[in-house]
Every structure is written in C-alpha cells, then in structure tokens.
Amino acid sequence: MLKPGSRIGILGGGQLGRMLAMSAARLGFDVHIFTPEDNSPAARVAAATIVAPYEDLSAVARFAAGVDVITYEFENVPVETAQAAAENAPLRPGVKALEVCQDRVAEKSFVNVAGLETTLWRAVTTEDEAEAAIVALGVPAILKTCRLGYDGKGQQVIREASAARGAFAALGGVPCILEAFAPFEREVSVVAARGVDGAVAAYPLVENHHEGGILRTTIAPAPGADALADEALRIATGVLAGLDYVGVLAVELFAMGDGRLLVNEIAPRVHNTGHWTMDACAFSQFEQHIRAVAGWPLGDPSPHSAARMENLIGADALRWQELASEPGACVHLYGKGEAREGRKMGHVNRLSPLP
C-alpha cells in the first residue's frame, strides 16, 4: 500500500487526468502530470507537471523516476512511452492493456480468447479482404480503422457490399476491422476495477446514449438491468483478469434482445460512462482507480443514489449559467478554454433516490 504523501504520476493531462488528480489529492497523494500540452486541465490541479512530447523518452524516464507509481488517463499513450515509464516505476495498469486496446483486432481477439462474446468481425488489410469480409458478414456492417479511432472518428458504415472497397480506401488503406451490425436493444457499459490483490469491484451496469458517435447521456443504474448484473460482472472479471489489470476500466456492451451482452469495446482507463459515480457513489471511479494503482483495497462500488449524467459537448458548455442555476444539477467543468465542436467540456450529474 502506497503511503499518503507518495507521488502518483499520470501520463496525460486531459479531464480524466484532472479528475484522477483530485481524487489522488483527496487521499493525500501528490500528483505529477506528464503531458505534451501546455496549461492542460490536469496540470492546473497537480503538484508538478512535465510538458514534453510522448516521444521524448528521456523526459518520460525522468518523469517516472520522480514518482512512486505511474498510471495513464488515455489509451493512446504510445506503448514505447509506457515501456520507458515502466522501467523506472511501477506502471498500473501495465503495457499489455495498451497493446491490446490500441488495436481493434487485438482487442476483439483477446475478448474472444477470454471466452467472451463479440459481434462477428474480420480483420481487413486490403480491398480484397474488405470485399471478402462484407460477403462473409453481410450488410449493414461497420468498417473501423484498427488504431486511433475515438468518438466515432475513423469509421464507415457499409450498407451495400459494393461499397466495401471504397470504404477501405476512404479510411486510408490502413489496417481495419469489419464488424457485423449488432441489432442491439441498447448500449450499456460496466465500469469495474481490479486491485493489486486481484479483487474485482464493479459499478452497476449503466445505459448509454450516443449522438454522432459521442456519448451524450448515461443513466445509472441501467433501468431494468438487474438480471444482467451477473453477466456484466462475469465479463468485467474476465477482461480484468485476462489483462492482468490493475485499476479501473470500462467495457462497452451491446445488450441484445435475447439477454446476451456482446463486448463492443474496452477502454483501459476511467471512462466517461463512469462520471456519474462522482456524485452518486461514496467511492467514485477516480478514487477507485487511485486506490487500485496505489495498492489500496478497492472501495465499495455501491451507489447511494441513482444518477443521470449529461455530457457538455462543445457549445453545451455555453449553457453554464443555466446549469449553475438549476437546482440539483451537479456541474463539472474541465477548465478547457474554447468550446470547440465535439469537444468534451464538462458534464452534469442529476441525482435521484435509488429505485
């Protein structure tokens, strides 16, 4: 167990790093941030910050040597960066989670090997493979780049088999995955943690609504999902154990009409669909992650309230006066300057008694 006063290093300076930093401070830790960005959201609540590119491995090593444990706040930290950090301090979660989750084919393979179900998929590295895959999986299907896609970027919906070659070319001819369309009832997710001792704690399953590929709303707990709780825990535990994971991660799931849950995506970090825990649980996902990486026992993930989380995206943040004046609206703003389109600027949690 890491002693209070110890230094926790975070790779990444965005809003997730900011909220992690505040939870770490609450437990008496000092936070050091490594980020390529000047005046980042996380740096403004941290004890120390190094601003350097992720590719500057000597800066990374220096950063790591100055802290007691390192974690990351986003899944596209380069693996080489993570490795350079891990040579100088314990890295939690480890490099494997990045390697698996940075590549959609590696991720889907991992999930299936762990005995968990996904929608049908095919790796696609040529136009011929794109055509063969669409024939195998049928339409509609979604072609996604294997790497660096987020919030709906790097994707093409294919509605006719003849469009497969063009879609692959439109995505730049880079390695892709074709995923069969899953006729899901709703999108849900489970946010869960694994401690250094292997203990697992999962928050209740939540229901998520996206617009334009970006999360808009999370309803927690997911209504009428009690019967899915055991399966969600089984999936989370399988993913966490398979990655030998320490910390919080999210598994995005498709809830099918027949009661099955298909794994859509793993995020090896605290997650937007867990932001409701900040106000509705005694132990937020951010504290839970810090507890795990610090080698502390996990907190109780039970909520004391139900919550509805609304993301503030781009111009939504200009509504701050209205939100500040709304009774019961727990407002979170990330300290980002410009409310650019599609940029996550903050979120609002609205609590209600548990059903």
Footprint on this chain of a second copy (rule: CB under 8 A):
1, 3-5, 18, 21-22, 25-30, 44-47, 279, 282-283, 291, 296-297, 299-300, 304-305, 317, 320-321, 324-325, 327-328, 330-335, 337, 346, 351
In the complex, least distance from residue 25 CB atom to a second copy, rounded to whole angstroms: 5
CA distance 343 to 244: 32
The phi, psi pair for 19, rounded to 5°, reads -70, -35
Note whether 198 and 297 are within 8 A (CB).
no
In the complex, least distance from residue 196 CB atom to a second copy, rounded to whole angstroms: 12
CA distance 194 to 141: 33
CA distance 73 to 54: 13
The phi, psi pair for 198, rounded to 5°, reads 90, -5
CA distance 137 to 108: 15
Which residue number, 1 or 174, has a Cβ lying nearer to a second copy?
A: 1
In the complex, least distance from residue 95 CB atom to a second copy, rounded to whole angstroms: 27
CA distance 272 to 16: 8
Note whether 23 and 289 are within 8 A (CB).
yes
In the complex, least distance from residue 193 CB atom to a second copy, rounded to whole angstroms: 14
Q: For tokens 């504290």, what's the residue?
A: 287
**Considering only CA atoms, which of 169, 183, 106 is closest in space to residue 138?**
183
Which residue number, 102 or 285, has a Cβ lying nearer to a second copy?
A: 285
Which residue number, 257 or 355, has a Cβ lying nearer to a second copy?
A: 355
CA distance 277 to 290: 14
Q: Which residues pair with 85 in a beta bridge?
A: none
Note whether 270 and 19 are within 8 A (CB).
yes
Q: For tokens 């802290």, what's the residue?
A: 67
CA distance 155 to 175: 12
In the complex, least distance from residue 149 CB atom to a second copy, rounded to whole angstroms: 28
Identity of the amino acid at 17: G
Which residue number, 242 or 303, has a Cβ lying nearer to a second copy?
A: 303
Which residue number, 58 or 325, has a Cβ lying nearer to a second copy?
A: 325
State both tokens at 105: 């084919």
Which residue number, 257 or 337, has a Cβ lying nearer to a second copy?
A: 337
In the complex, least distance from residue 5 CB atom to a second copy, rounded to whole angstroms: 7
In the complex, least distance from residue 45 CB atom to a second copy, rounded to whole angstroms: 5
In the complex, least distance from residue 340 CB atom to a second copy, rounded to whole angstroms: 14
In the complex, least distance from residue 48 CB atom to a second copy, rounded to whole angstroms: 9
Which residue number, 3 or 227, has a Cβ lying nearer to a second copy?
A: 3
Which residue number, 28 or 166, has a Cβ lying nearer to a second copy?
A: 28
Which residue number, 31 or 77, has a Cβ lying nearer to a second copy?
A: 31
State both tokens at 258: 């027949």
